[in-house]
Amino acid sequence: MLHEITFNVNGEPYTVAVKSQHTLLDVLREKLGITSPKRGCENGECGACTVLLDGKPVNSCMVLAVEAAGHEIETVEGLARDGELHPLQKAFIEHNAVQCGFCTPGVLMSAKGLLDENPHPNVDEIKHALAGNLCRCTGYVRIVDAVLDVAGNGQ
Amino acid sequence: MRPFDYYQPESFDEAFKLLTMPDKVVMPLAGSTDLIPMVRDERWSPDIVVDIKELPGLRDIKPVAGGPGCGVCEGECLYVGAAVRMSEIARSPLVNRHWGVLAQAAGAVGHEQVRNRATLGGNMGTASPAGDTLSALLVLEAEVLIQGAGGERCIPVTKFFLGPRKTALRPGEIIVAVLLPPLPEGSAGSYERLSRRRGADLALVGVSALAVPYAGGYQWRLALCAVAPTPIRVPEAEAVLSAGHDAVSLEQAAQLALAASHPIDDVRATAAYRREMVVRLTRRALQHVVEQLEH
């Protein structure tokens, strides 16, 4: 079954035809060419596909695309403004919080979701917010340090 | 993913027509966090998926006077719609006012991304023995508000869970809300759970404990999940605790919780490990309640 849906991705309106069984992740990657959300476990375990839906982190592999109709989606592609990286992106570079990079877009969106709701989280709150994002390279210390840095700067 | 047709009905009548379509496998959808992985793994094969989360009243958290039709709740119940997200329940000041054990259990489900989609009604409808919110609903003695083509009914949550993934829902019926009966000031609750990975994964064991002021003392309620085919209350332990919650009673209650448990071996843990954890988590949950009572 086909559905014509309209939704916003990073502030831009898109109208696309999607099948009932298409996930938001399928449509972002395959139809819109927005490839920062990664296809990882497709089971809600790894968080590599995390995007913000109306400001809240969700696994885009576990949302039907048709459910996103009329909603606001944010991905890493929308983080930089006027050629200037987002403070979280800068902090991840400064802290070397990236190794292979596969998990990074999801981690950034979970961190943005947290900071938008709570601009000055402590270490425990950061760990809690990032618990749904697996990183098999960094050991998390640098990731938490990077988010803490932005939180301390008051963004 | 295997193709299916998706509908989002705007009225209950429209929903029931879809849910009772002859010769079709029809499944309701709310948070999609169970449905999508199950369809992807080809364990569920719906022809039609009916998105019920925008139906009137399914997203509300509100105090209500008495239960609509159920007659159980005297005074002010809390109505929690079936499609309310776990993260909303965990953060709700209304839920946290008296029914904090449910907020704790909702906050223990999965991780933030899952909690932002998963719903209370979905956790109940899926009826996994490991569902975090289920033991909390048992100690809160919640009522389940159900609607079907034949009308509305309300049943105690104790009669809702019949077995692993089996509920009292009849074909075409959906969960509309749970009603949480009022609790007196001074009640205290705690939910404790263990999983392989903190912040994700299903509970290996979950324990809800609640103490309610009663006749100069406390009436205790204790429920377990992931250790039997359904979430269970442990009346033997409750009787011991209600007679007095000293250290000896707490230990006795933990052993009675163990005696009531019949866990299985599965991919997450062995039955023997789960039995050991029942004792430890029950101790911990009871201790947390006692600390609140003494505070």
* Same domain (yes/no): A74, A15: yes
C-alpha to C-alpha distance for B295 and B187, rounded to whole angstroms: 12
* Same domain (yes/no): A56, A96: no
pLDDT for A154 equals: 42
Model confidence at A155: pLDDT above 50: no
Q: How many domains does chain A have?
A: 2
> A3 near A18, Cβ under 8 Å?
yes
With an 8 Å Cβ cutoff, are A62 and B199 in contact?
A: no
- Nearest Cβ partner of B37 from A44, A58, A128? A44
Model confidence at B72: pLDDT above 60: no
Beta bridge partners of B214: B217
Model confidence at A18: pLDDT above 90: yes
Percent of chain B with pLDDT over 90: 89
* Same domain (yes/no): A91, A147: yes
> Nearest residue of A to residue B45 by CA position?
A21
Query: What CATH class has B61-180?
Result: alpha beta
Chain A with chain B: Cβ pairs closer than 8 A: 83
Name chain B contacts of A67, Cβ cutoff 8 Å: 32, 51
CATH number for position A48 = 3.10.20.30
Which domain, by its residues, includes A14? 2-78
The arithmetic mean of pLDDT across residues B111-120, rounded, is 97
Model confidence at B90: pLDDT above 60: yes
The arithmetic mean of pLDDT across residues B21-38, rounded, is 96
Domain's final residue, options A78, A112, A129 = A78
Domain's final residue, options A53, A78, A103 = A78
Name chain A contacts of B52, Cβ cutoff 8 Å: none
Count Cα atoms within 13 angstroms, Cβ side, for B40.
16
* Same domain (yes/no): A70, A14: yes
pLDDT for A130 equals: 97
Domain's final residue, options A78, A96, A123 = A78
C-alpha to C-alpha distance for B120 and B178, rounded to whole angstroms: 9
CATH code, residues B5-51: 3.30.43
Q: What is the pLDDT of residues B122-154, one digit of tens each?
A: 999 999 999 999 999 999 999 999 999 889 999
> Nearest residue of B to residue A26 by CA position?
B1
Q: What is Dmax (Cα atoms) for chain B? A: 60
The arithmetic mean of pLDDT across residues B13-28, rounded, is 96
- Nearest Cβ partner of B111 from A19, A64, A132? A132
CATH number for position A112 = 1.10.150.120
pLDDT for A153 equals: 55
* Same domain (yes/no): A68, A99: no
* Same domain (yes/no): A63, A101: no
Is residue B43 classed exposed, middle or buried when 0-12, 13-18 and 19+ CB atoms within 10 A define those classes?
A: exposed
* Same domain (yes/no): A91, A69: no
Question: Using 50, 70 and 90 to split pLDDT, how confident is the model at B203?
Answer: confident
Name chain A contacts of B30, Cβ cutoff 8 Å: none
Model confidence at B182: pLDDT above 80: yes
> Nearest residue of B to residue A109 by CA position?
B113
Name chain A contacts of B49, Cβ cutoff 8 Å: 20
The arithmetic mean of pLDDT across residues B203-217, rounded, is 95
Tell me the CA distances in angstroms from B152 to B55, B69, B79, B148, one per residue in order. Answer: 15, 8, 15, 6
The arithmetic mean of pLDDT across residues A53-80, rounded, is 98
Q: How far is A150 from chain B (nearest CA, A)?
A: 20
* Same domain (yes/no): A72, A6: yes
- Nearest Cβ partner of A47 from B6, B36, B113? B113
Residue A72, SS3?
strand
* Same domain (yes/no): A7, A72: yes
With an 8 Å Cβ cutoff, are B33 and A128 in contact?
A: no
* Same domain (yes/no): A10, A49: yes
Name chain B contacts of A62, Cβ cutoff 8 Å: 32-33, 36-37, 113-114, 117
Name chain B contacts of A128, Cβ cutoff 8 Å: 112, 199
- Nearest Cβ partner of B3 from A21, A47, A67? A21
Pick the closest to residue B180 from B293, B95, B109 (CA basis).
B95
> Nearest residue of A to residue B1 by CA position?
A21
pLDDT for B65 equals: 83
* Same domain (yes/no): A50, A96: no
Model confidence at B67: pLDDT above 70: no
Query: What CATH class has B191-294?
Result: alpha beta
pLDDT for B66 equals: 64
With an 8 Å Cβ cutoff, are A63 and B117 in contact?
A: yes
